[in-house]
Structure 1
Amino acid sequence: MAHGQKSSGAGPSSAQRKDLAAAGALEFAVGTKTQCTAAFDGALHPAEVLEIRTDAAGKKQYYVHFMDCDKRLDEWVHADKLLPPNSNISRLESVPSLALGCSGELQADGQKITRRLKRRLEDTHHVPGHLDDSKDHAGPEKEHAERTKVKNVQVVEYGRYEMDTWYYSPYPEPYASCHKLYVCEYSLKYFRKKATLLRHLAKLEARHPPGDEIYRSPPPPASNPGSSSNAVANPPIAVFEVDGKANKVYCQNLCLLSKLFLDHKTLYYDVDPFLFYVLCEVDADGYHTVGYFSKEKNCQDNYNLACILTLPCYQRKGYGKFLIAFAYQLSHLEGRPGTAERPLSDLGAVSFRSYWTRQVLDVLRDCRGDISVQDISDRTMMMPSDIIETLKQLNLLQYWKGSHYIAANPKVVEEYWRIYSGAGGRWLEVDLKCLHWQPLTTGPGRPK
């Protein structure tokens, strides 16, 4: 299920509740800006009506975007959740539109937001490109935003989980018009009816992704009956390398599913130039897909990761950071540093910053004497630009006599490590003894 953002606002006051009751008899036009009581925290938020429909009981519903929240929290509401259009308009007009940039900082209306919006088409799903300041892109960008502003599929049943979706995904009709889709967690095929899914599962022979299994962790150790620990061990995990050209339908299904939970990617069906690294939990029933990252086969921009997702039902288990670490281990074997394709989603930015911080601090803790940014890059396979950004955020990069140097006082580094090593939830380490992989191609900086 989607996790709501913490709101700084309170619930409706007694006067506002009267306004909400009065608004229940009103109608709102598309584009109306007012306030709406959000389901995720019960508080009033500035909102805009994006679309209108009639429910099964004949009552009008309004699809609202909460202007101070991410799009994944948009929802359908009845009029009794909305304040009358003229309520607190002066306050609404002063509310800035917030976004999370690649650096992870909230940015308000103005130049930074404009630049980020211009980059949205550049980071299309596996179709890299470069946008200039030309007005030629305004039309396609506006068309894309208009087409994807309202979620189509609302719920996905996936294995034993049921997930609320976050964003629009271009499933073909008639699937795109379904309130709920049933997705096979092995083949990723999608169905409109549960009975059809069950028939598919009864005939399914290969309960794992196509491609080559390149990683398999050993089973977790048996728990000690006398232990007082309440920690739950993750099941064994496996990673498959899937070629988008050789397994086109599977990869397209993976992209369609991931688009329900990723807003910053625009899905295209050309998956041929990409490899997909699919992470699975393994049990007696088969390999349950929990997440993946994709990577361009022949990338000239040092991207070691194009798109990454852990499905919401499997989040908070350390899988996202494991996938990031896995991508950098592949960079180690390729012999060249890499970075993630930009822009990052808000959740992706948090995960990458956490990983980069941990890696940089780990190197600095072991350092004796002077160390350069290039030294850290050679050990971590991180791009120097990502290392510099991380050092700046930690205030460990100083400027003196025209050049930068790393000011890594051991006590300061240890204090940072104490803070960050336990932050960000669970960490799953990549066991190199379980990884069996060789680069597909050779080139500058790659081992032959």
Structure 2
Amino acid sequence: MELELRIHDNSKDKDKETLERNIDDVIFGEVTFKAWYPSWYPKEIIGEKALAGDKGGIVVNELYVCQRCFGYGKALVEWVRHCRCCEREVPGQKVYVHGGWREDDSPRPTIGEWSIWEVDGGVETNLSLFAKLFLDNKSVFFDVSGFNYFLLVYTPPSNSPHHTSSTQHKQIVGFFSKEKLSWDNNNLACILIFPPWQRKGLGALLMGVSYAIARREQILGGPEKPISELGRKGYKRFWGAEIARWILERQERRTKGKKGRGKREEVGIKLLSEETWIAQEDCLAVLRDMGVVERVGGRGRGVGVGGGGEDGEGEGKEVVKVRIDKEAVRGWCERERIKLERVVGEEGFRPGYAERVEDDGEEEDGEEGEGEVDEEGDEEMGG
């Protein structure tokens, strides 16, 4: 079976003028950084011409944004006055604490805390406007009522100089959005880490939380497509780490047990997808990108990527066997500096959050698919 994951990059098809920024610098608390894309703030900020679609370039040199409520303005004095008075707490409800759930919302004395808060996207207009400055081709401003936002919040330790009685100590540093009802089983629509906090592995944390929530809801899916070039790079690393861990841990479990040693084990792309909760087409694309797949002779009957629908399409089709070299998997992890520790722990979620009760009559099926694992440690997989 030949399958190629096609992700269309719309940015190449668009007139470059449509990507012109209308705001230059963003002052966000104590940090200043450049906007990447235009955002449609009210006419009091960007003017009537820009709001009407005039491609006149930069119309605001400096936009001041409150770190707590994402309120905005062009006047420094008014912004400083607002920030001193703003007492807005992080909206929504806390659903995840990295490192282990805790009900207590007070800051810890010596270590900071990363947490995820869920809020209705319809009430976060200011955040949506701010996010649009760094997101392209995403409807983070329009139709937000159909989405929930999952805010990534950092709480510094109480002994930190950033935590004082006169300042709000919690800082929103990014978020991802998720459709309240997705017909395509999308577990994420938009994802953004604000520029000052990028390149710290926080994007992988948000991706991990989105998949963990989908797993708790028993929904196998993935991010909304098409994926941006930047998002594609992040997801390839995340998917690759999850798949590499599954492959290597599977070998380790079999090595420790005597029952399966010396025997070939049939595994397939369907089983890999079900146990990692990564869509089959994403699994196949990443395995090829990792360069760890070698086609071998022989074919078998299995479940293809179409997989077991009501009409039976995809069932019993002939599949091509490929071998996965586990040493190549380890080599890929070393080259890409991939850490195999789980990004998100189930113990971090609020008890009972998003858990779906399974029907007692459902039967587990973990035997479908094609592939072999030989005693030398290479895995053959049907795709």
TM-score, normalised via structure 1 length: 0.59
The equivalent position to 1:215 in structure 2, one of 87, 96, 107, is: 96
| SS in structure 1 of the partner of residue 95 of structure 2 | strand
- Which residue among 111, 128, 131 is the counterpart of 1:258? 131
Q: Any idea what SS the aligned residue of 1:326 has?
A: helix
Please state how far the C-alpha of 1:440 moved relative to its aligned partner: 8.7
Displacement of 1:149 in angstroms is 3.2
Structure 1: distance between partners of 2:356 and 2:73? 38
2:67 paired residue number: 185
The alignment partner of 1:196 has SS state of helix
Deviations 1:312-332 (A, max 9, x none): 110011111110111011111
| Secondary structure, counterpart of 2:171 in structure 1 | strand
In the alignment, structure 1 residue 439 sits paired with structure 2 residue 354 = yes
Residue 117 (structure 1) aligned with residue 117 (structure 2): no
**1:305 and 2:188 aligned:** yes
Aligned length: 294
2:371 corresponds in structure 1 to none
CA distance in 2, matches of 1:315, 1:155: 17
In structure 2, how many angstroms separate the alpha carbons of the residues matched to 1:410 and 1:260?
A: 42
Alignment-derived partner of residue 429 in structure 1: 343
Report how far residue 428 of structure 1 moved.
8.2
| Whole-angstrom distance in 2 between the partners of 1:118 and 1:431 | 36
Cα gap change, 1:416 to 1:221, in 2 (>3 Å) = farther
Question: How far 1:162 sits from its partner (Å)?
Answer: 0.3
Q: Give the SS at the match of 1:167.
A: coil
- The answer for the alignment partner of 1:151 in structure 2 is 21
**In structure 2, what is the Cα distance between the partners aligned to 1:326 and 1:195?**
39
Higher RCO (CA < 8 A, seq sep 6+): 2
Contact in 2 for aligned 1:322/1:427 (Cα 8 Å): no
1:86-235 map, 5 Å: 116-117=9-10, 148-176=18-46, 177-208=59-90, 210-217=91-98, 235=112
**Residues 1:328 and 2:328 aligned together:** no
Which residue does 1:386 correspond to in 2?
Answer: 282
- Cα RMSD between the aligned structures? 3.2
Return the offset for 1:212. 0.4
Residue 434 (structure 1) shift:
2.1
Q: In 1, distance between residues paired with 2:21 and 2:238?
A: 31
Quote how far apart the aligned CAs of 1:375 are: 1.6
Deviation at 1:341, TM superposition (A): 0.8
**1:419 Cα offset (Å):** 2.6
Contact 1:371 1:406 in 2 (8 A): no
Q: 1:410 aligns with which of 306, 320, 326?
A: 326
Residue 372 (str. 1) matches residue 268 (str. 2): yes
- Look up the match of 2:147: 274
Kept after mapping to 1: 8 A contact 2:218/2:356: no
In 2, the alpha carbon distance for the partners of 1:372 and 1:322 equals: 28
**How high is the sequence identity, in percent, across the aligned residues?**
26
For structure 2, list consecutive stretches of 5 or more residues without a partner in the other structure. Answer: 47-58, 100-106, 157-162, 252-264, 300-317, 363-383
CA separation in 1, counterparts of 2:108 and 2:244? 28
Aligned residue for 1:286, secondary structure, equals coil
- Give the distance between the partners of 2:356 and 2:127, measured in 1 at CA: 25
Counterpart of 2:152, as a letter, is L
Q: 1:416–1:149: structure 2 CA closer, same or farther, 3 Å change rule?
A: closer
SS at match of 1:335: coil
Q: Which amino acid aligns with 1:431?
A: G
Equivalents in 2 of 1:305, 1:119: separation in Å? 23
State the distance in 2 between where 1:270 and 1:443 align.
Answer: 32
Deviation at 1:378, TM superposition (A): 1.8
Shift, 1:204, TM fit: 2.0
Task: Report how far residue 391 of structure 1 moved.
Answer: 1.4
SS of 2:144's partner is coil
> Are the equivalent residues in 1 in contact too, given 2:115–2:153 (CA < 8 A)?
yes
C-alpha displacement of 1:423:
4.3
Q: CA deviation at 1:351?
A: 0.4
1:156 Cα deviation after fit: 0.4
Residue 310 and residue 253 in structure 1: after superposition, are their counterparts in 2 closer, same or farther (change >3 A)? same
Which ranges of structure 1 fall in alignment gaps of 5 or more residues? 1-101, 105-114, 121-140, 223-232
The alignment partner of 1:179 has SS state of strand
Work out the CA distance in 1 between the residues paired with 2:331 and 2:109.
32
Alpha-carbon distance, 1:286 to partner: 1.9
Do the aligned residues in 2 keep the contact of 1:280 with 1:287 (CA within 8 Å)?
Answer: yes
Report the counterpart of residue 258 of structure 2 in structure 1. none
What's the CA shift string for 1:336-380, capped at 9, x where partnerless? 212111121221111000001111111111224332112221221
SS of match in other structure, 2:285: helix
Q: Superposition pairs for residues 240-251 of structure 1, below 5 Å?
A: 240-245=117-122, 248=123, 251=124
Q: Deviations for 1:261-303, whole angstroms, at most 9, x for unmatched residues?
A: 1123245432111000010111333211111000001101011
Q: Deviations over 1:185-237 (max 9, x none)?
A: 111111112222222223222332x1101122368996xxxxxxxxxx8x311
| Secondary structure at the counterpart of residue 170 of structure 2 | strand
TM-score using structure 2 length: 0.69
Shift of the alpha carbon at 1:238? 1.5
Deviation at 1:415, TM superposition (A): 2.3
The ranges of structure 1 where at least 4 consecutive aligned residues each deviate by more than 4 angstroms after the TM superposition are 218-222, 440-444
Q: Which amino acid aligns with 1:282?
A: T
Residue 321 to residue 152, structure 1, CA distance change in 2 (3 Å) = same
Q: Which moved more, 1:302-311 or 1:281-290?
A: 281-290
